[in-house]
A and B are shown apart, each in its own frame.
Chain A
């Protein structure tokens, strides 16, 4: 495992992207498309190697040396990267979803492919950087870097009011990042360094312990605003339905599958691991936010007429479950939250893919205009039903594991001084019915019932779409039947989380 280079994993997409933009590079679009797909496939295999050789006792750690030094050491910045269980899961998921996204781009992206695939690769590097960097400054750089390709990907290849949505996404996230930056600056001001070695396995020197608790809470809240815009948590969520709706399908997959997880990831790294004392105080209130998120977004999803918005709101609702799990402070709940991050990443990617396929065929997203597609698209219907089952948490699919463990953890939450909490948490379980209601509204309106004549000519899945959907589904089924293979990987970090934040 010494042969595996973390730098190569993170920066190889960037190198390819730079290659793309060089004038000497081949400009044939088919070549670029195939080249990207092949590269992403190789990248995924490489990321899988990290998973295979992962050992909780030995760490993947790498530093990037530019001009003989790593980062700006006079300011305490080191461009260091590390992988622990949590990062590993997210990195593999990232690599997998980018691969899927690149495959599914074929039918949807028809112009300016060189720019598109270049931006996609740039996005991959920035997302990977967020999930692996072990220095706060580098983390923030990647966090912001991700906005640039995303803005162009939405606005240039989107549909509907794409430019407006992209602008809203950019400004909204920037607004959140402002608070994040403020929090980071405060943190460095009080602790005199920017090098925090975030990866918990290195966290033997806890600089933050010296901070007074009030300052900790202030910093925690500032950071939280930044992360909750990304996550998103109500009331900071309104960018998401617009951005998801107007983004092209492959980008929606990445938005829902990965970019939302960045918020949760940052929340775990900063708020829970770095500032555990503040987190202990804030957690009961966050649970209330999480439950409101789950229920409110679930109810909103039922009322949408735009099929993409249904899925968008459902992902807001699911991120509430993630937050609920993370705030429970017991091993079951935190494991549930992290597993749900992964499961939602996979499931939501599949659902956005499906919605993208439907939009690509029918050129409408209005749920009332489409009906009875199951007659002409039986394979797509089969996939949709399976993904819907996964989304509502039917056992033997991964959605169940995360949801179930989260509820188990949430029900056994012990915050003695907050009597209202059990009453609030009980409401979270209504998501089982609410999610069934909106998911099956979607499935039944689109696929079931008698078919309208105008849709009778639609074609079923193409090979590309079939490969994407079936590979995502097989991962969902694999982890659903064998959840321990995922839980064993994240277990060490969960123990660290519970140990640092536990009561």
Chain B
């Protein structure tokens, strides 16, 4: 057991080696067998899972368990940047979630991607993602977080544009990368600013890379050596990094588009692991943010807005994967709310339960899609319960859990509510109730539209049973995880949310099963929701009109002012040359006349000057 914990670096490196091996093996045409690729991948992931299990239990039983292993990556002057691993309860917990979901998704993608021509590229990238994500959660300092932050962004981008020949996938990848890059930029600015403040003012140069082992001290230094506005700016910059990665308002629009990637990618990266990195970062830097109530409120407000927008857009969305994507954005918003209101543990537990539920739902959606030749429009489905009752029940479990009525979703949500009721933050409770209502409504709308009602097809669909195993695995975790969470058995706090959610389910049932097509399309609200609040259109305007306009202006300046000056100089030189060449007639007579004219001019001028000087000398 000790040996696993001591060598946790291997957990990070195995997936990297796998990735390189698969990539090179494919390139040199040595490693073509899909079974070997899968077994290599599963071997490294299982190793990671076992290690993270041991580490997690060790961290659970040991009080204040911390283990740090670092090596020097970069050192200039007194600024030393170290990379390595840092294990405490939070990171081992995240590592466990990552490897569990990864294992399930990798088994699933074997049969999902089996017929794809780029099978090995997919697995190489998935392994690379596992490497960068596990390195991210094991980061000993903020700089390694940034490095891995970029790497997960890169692997996410490459996996979204996996089918690069599809225009939609290409655009989605570009959008995701550039939007994440905005967040990365803010994060880097925040990290560098805080690092410089620690380095230049506190005198603690070895804290310049912001190690998490002494984050409390760093938080104190940072607060002491900065003025209030600077401190808030730094915090907001750091949070903006989290906002982009966790698809929060205003940088959330990349996530629904990211669903163009293969479904296992959505299940792993865009629901469970990478998007949770933003929440993880806030949890890591909690001591810093906690010092300013403004920053905490900022996190809450971002969370509320994103959760509301996500849920609101999910209600009318017609694409089954995008519904889940909006739901992810919305649920991450709830984690932001929990973090901002100080419920650190509750939000981390919420992250865990949500990771399992959401990747399970995505895997179900992928299974359904694969039977319908990749169709995603919700109108294509209906009455699927008759054909695939097992999947329908699993989805139902997921839906109940996601809306927070039963199972692990209930347990984690009640923790959040408990904290909010205890701290009497009633306006947050109210918005959370609205969000819960909408959550239950959209997820059951999806369930009813896909699985209930009339079947559109009559043939019995066959699906690969290999794909069901990971779904069942995640389902079991979802069912059982609730029992391991800490209990807050206060019935009065649980009653209100559950009632709200039940009303929402009833409404969804009435609208989508009982009285189909009776739902009036509320004129303004429907359009707003269906068009995603026109935020996408706004960003399209910014990128395609405003940014291009700025670039055109810059180019105009470049062409006509900077290069124009050069052009004018050249033109004047040429003009001069042309004028002078006109005098070069070649006939001696004209040359002599020119010289006489010039001589006459010079002599006249000389006489004039001379007489003037003489005149003034006399005066």
What residues of chain A have their CB less than 8 Å away from a CB belonging to chain B?
A: 168, 172, 234-235, 237-238, 296, 299-300, 302-304, 330-332, 335, 372, 374-375, 381, 385, 389, 392, 394-396, 400-401, 404-405, 407-408, 411-412, 426, 429-430, 432-433, 436-437, 440-441, 444, 447-451, 483-484, 487, 491, 494
Contacts and interface: CB of A to CB of B under 8 A. Distances in A.
A331 B77 contact: yes
Given A394-B154, A436-B178, A234 B554 contact: no
Given A335-B76, A487-B76, A433 B164 contact: no
B554 A303 contact: yes
A483 B558 CA distance: 36
A394 B563 CA distance: 33
A483 B73 contact: yes
Interface in B187-219: 188-189, 192-193, 195-196, 199-200
B192 A411 contact: yes
15 contacts: A235-B565, A300-B555, A303-B548, A331-B76, A394-B151, A405-B76, A437-B178, A448-B164, A448-B169, A448-B170, A451-B165, A483-B74, A484-B74, A487-B75, A487-B76
- A172, A440, A447: most-surrounded residue (chain B CB, <10 A): A440
Contacts of B77: 330-332
Given A332-B77, A412-B199, A296 B558 contact: yes
A238 B74 contact: no
- A299, A401, A405: most-surrounded residue (chain B CB, <10 A): A299
A235 B547 CA distance: 22
Contact of B72 (A392, A395, A484): A484
A436 B175 CA distance: 11
B182 interface: yes
Contacts of B170: 444, 448-449
Contacts of B562: 234-235, 237-238
A331 B199 CA distance: 13
Contacts of A407: 188, 192
Contact of A395 (B75, B150, B158): B150
A437 B547 contact: yes
A433 B75 contact: no
A153 to B, nearest CB: 22
B199 A436 contact: no
B72 A374 contact: no
A396 B154 CA distance: 12
B555 A303 contact: yes
Interface string B137-160: 000000000111011001000100
Contacts of A392: 181
Interface in B23-74: 72-74
B76 A396 contact: no
Given A172-B566, A437-B178, 6 more contacts: A299-B550, A302-B547, A444-B170, A448-B164, A449-B167, A484-B75
A322 B562 CA distance: 21
Contact of A450 (B165, B171, B188, B563): B165
A62 to B, nearest CB: 31
A395 B178 contact: no
B184 interface: yes
Contact of B174 (A168, A332, A405, A440): A440
Interface in B112-154: 146-148, 150-151, 154
User: What are the 3 closest A-B residue pairs judged by CB atoms, nearest first?
Assistant: A448-B170, A299-B554, A395-B147
A315 B78 CA distance: 31
- B164, B173, B200: most-surrounded residue (chain A CB, <10 A): B164
B305 interface: no
Contacts of B161: 448
B555 A394 contact: no
A299 B189 contact: no
B185 A429 contact: yes
Contacts of B76: 331-332, 335, 405, 487, 491, 494
A265 to B, nearest CB: 20
B552 interface: yes
A407 B561 CA distance: 30
Interface residues of B, number: 52
Nearest to A168: B566
B565 A449 contact: no
A32 B481 CA distance: 72
B177 A440 contact: yes
Contacts of B189: 411, 426, 429
B298 interface: no
B4 interface: no
B165 A372 contact: yes
B79 interface: yes
Contact of B147 (A172, A335, A396): A396
Nearest to B550: A299
B488 interface: no
B178 A450 contact: no
A395 B151 contact: yes
A331 to B, nearest CB: 4
Contact of A440 (B79, B178, B551, B554): B178
A433 B164 CA distance: 22
Nearest to A336: B76
Contacts of B75: 484, 487
Contacts of A447: 164
A440 B185 CA distance: 16
Contacts of A432: 181, 184-185, 188
A386 B580 CA distance: 56
A435 to B, nearest CB: 9
A484 B165 CA distance: 39
A394 B167 contact: no
Contacts of B557: 296
Nearest to A389: B154
B222 to A, nearest CB: 15
A270 B159 CA distance: 48
A467 B182 CA distance: 35
Given A299-B554, A436-B181, A332 B79 contact: yes
Nearest to A412: B196
A483 B79 CA distance: 14
A308 B276 CA distance: 39
Given A395-B147, A401-B74, A411-B196, A448 B165 contact: yes
Contacts of B181: 392, 432-433, 436
Contacts of B550: 299
A403 to B, nearest CB: 9
A482 to B, nearest CB: 9
B277 to A, nearest CB: 15
A440 B75 CA distance: 31
A319 B586 CA distance: 51
A235 B566 CA distance: 10
A477 B180 CA distance: 23
Nearest to A242: B563
B174 to A, nearest CB: 5
Nearest to B168: A449
A400 B143 CA distance: 12
Nearest to A432: B185
Nearest to B196: A412
Contacts of A238: 558, 562-563, 566
Contacts of A172: 566
Contacts of A381: 164
A385 B158 contact: yes
A412 B195 CA distance: 10
Contacts of B166: 449-450
A394 B178 contact: no
Contacts of A444: 170-171, 173-174
A335 B81 CA distance: 14
A491 B74 CA distance: 12
A308 to B, nearest CB: 15
A450 B173 CA distance: 15
B281 to A, nearest CB: 16
Interface string B539-553: 000000001101110
A302 to B, nearest CB: 4
A109 to B, nearest CB: 29
B195 to A, nearest CB: 7
